[in-house]
Structure 1
Amino acid sequence: MANQSISDIKTIFKNTPIEKINETIDRYSSDERQGVQNMITQYTKKSINYYKEIERIHLMKHYEQANDQYNHICGIDEAGRGPLAGPVISGAVILSQEEDILYLNDSKKLSEKKRNELYGIIKEKAVSYSVGIATVETIDTINILQATFESMKDAINKLSFKPDYLLIDAITLPNIDIRQQSIIKGDAKSVSIAAASILAKVTRDKMMAEYHTLYPEYNFLQNKGYGTSEHIEAIKKYGPCPIHRQTFIKNFI
């Protein structure tokens, strides 16, 4: 080991999977060179954070484990109840309880980069996933709460497996023949709901980015349809576009 350059050791640390990093730390712990000791300090912190994250995710499996008599537990959450424009999107996700997806959380607490990364992992590792949509026309016709119910039912119906238990963020879904549990702030308490939250948020953000190319004057790329002062001024200046919710913007036009 003494013959190894610090650069070589740095490459070894960099290429070691985090779950095996403690073995590499032990291997080089007796190397007294300051550069190596700095790496050991750096990767020891990463290891500690990694195992803390595993513990956090296991705590977020509480609701899934408490209902493990059900075969397909589905987390459900929505994105887009509050904006002035665009659809409401619901995610539905059935996760394997045998496998951890680290860093799942309320989508609003994650960076856009982290959400997009987890979006891909969820789609790869979920037992089943889907998104449901309620259009602007539906929102204006039956109101946002009823439209949210419709988008959630749409997501459930698109799953490849019919769930036998639902974990839903803050909502009790009416007129459905599946047992369910509503959890306040569930997207920060349940891995399944957190995954659904990310799926819904990323899907809707991608849609709003596409709408931005059609209606750039409203800057949907940045505001995602929410009522920022810039967005409201654009509505006043240009009038509404086809994806504005008429029942939401009636006080601005």
Structure 2
Amino acid sequence: MMQTRKKQSPTLEEEMALFERGHSFIAGLDEAGRGCLAGPVVAGAVILPLSDNTLELFAGINDSKQLSAAARDRFYDHIMQHALAVGVGVVSVAVIDTRNILQATKYAMELALQQLSPTPDALLLDAIYLPKVALPQRSIIKGDARSLSIAAASIIAKVTRDRLMVELHKEYPHYGFDQHKGYGTAAHVAALHTYGVTPHHRRSFSPISEMFGLFASIDSVDVSTDLSEQ
């Protein structure tokens, strides 16, 4: 008889390894929207309490991509209520086009970390490293499926960004931002051909850069506000 593999849930293995080395406040970080054609990139940072009942308290939390929208909303509220600290960093399209998406993602994570109280003393990240942050860091491939703290951060980032895109839909209803959240679906690309780009589209991203040849005009965008804190 063929056996089905049981879906693995995130654990506290990475967190406890750092705890045993003397770290008390371990922040998990993840992002949402890195591959989108429109909208900001958003990072979440979460410090969970490390106790005997942590796994029970946060049971069911997983990589945000593995959860339904309703489940993400439910866990978002639970994390906000029971985590030791939660931070969110939002970085605009102007910064993404000027600095590139990787640097914008790192900046979003730095902003999220600045909001945490207590201040973290170690970091767990999903396949990324923050060279400007002078803290012990562990970059984990598929970290949102392995670390409970990173999984919680992925939910915070995803729900925050989805809600921003739903608000953006009210301003630009023809693009369907409430459905695809800025990802490059066929419907989104078709809307781009029909209506052109908005100020919230990433002009440095393909196929927008090829379709409209607009990336050269990004020089006219004022990004001083977004970069002033760096």
Please give the range of the TM-score, normalised by the shorter of the 2 chains. 0.7 to 0.9
| Partner Cα distance (2:176, 2:121) in 1 | 41
Alignment of 1:1-253 (within 5 A): 60-68=11-19, 69-98=22-51, 99=54, 100-248=57-205, 249-253=208-212
CA deviation after TM superposition for structure 1 residue 172, in Å:
1.1
Identity %: 50
| Partner Cα distance (1:247, 1:164) in 2 | 35
The structure in which a higher percent of residues are helix is: 1
Contact 1:90/1:152 (CA < 8 Å) preserved in 2?
yes
CA deviation after TM superposition for structure 1 residue 138, in Å:
0.4
| Partner Cα distance (1:242, 1:215) in 2 | 10
Contact 1:232/1:252 (CA < 8 Å) preserved in 2?
no
Deviates most, 173-182 or 145-154 = 173-182
Contact 1:85/1:136 (CA < 8 Å) preserved in 2?
yes
* Number of corresponding residues: 199
CA deviation after TM superposition for structure 1 residue 251, in Å:
1.6
After superposition, give the CA deviation of every residue in 1:195-235 in whole Å (9 maximum; x if it has no partner): 00000000000000000000011000001000011111111
CA deviation after TM superposition for structure 1 residue 175, in Å:
1.7
Deviates most, 109-118 or 96-105 = 96-105
| Partner Cα distance (1:108, 1:168) in 2 | 16
Q: Where do 4+ consecutive residues of structure 1 move more than 2 Å?
A: none
Contact 1:130/1:155 (CA < 8 Å) preserved in 2?
yes
TM-score of the superposition, structure 1-length normalised? Answer: 0.76
| Secondary structure, aligned partner of 2:204 | helix
| Partner Cα distance (2:26, 2:132) in 1 | 18
| Partner Cα distance (2:190, 2:63) in 1 | 30
| Secondary structure, aligned partner of 2:59 | coil
| Partner Cα distance (1:202, 1:183) in 2 | 22
Q: What CA RMSD, in Å, does the superposition of the two structures yield over aligned residues?
A: 1.4
| Partner Cα distance (1:152, 1:213) in 2 | 27
Bigger-Rg structure (1/2) = 1
User: Which blocks of at least 5 consecutive residues in structure 1 are unaligned?
Assistant: 1-51
TM-score of the superposition, structure 2-length normalised? Answer: 0.84
CA deviation after TM superposition for structure 1 residue 177, in Å:
0.7
| Partner Cα distance (2:173, 2:199) in 1 | 13
CA deviation after TM superposition for structure 1 residue 252, in Å:
2.4
Q: Determine which structure has greater relative contact order: mean sequence separation of CA pairs < 8 Å that are 6+ residues apart, divided by chain length.
A: 2
| Secondary structure, aligned partner of 2:139 | strand
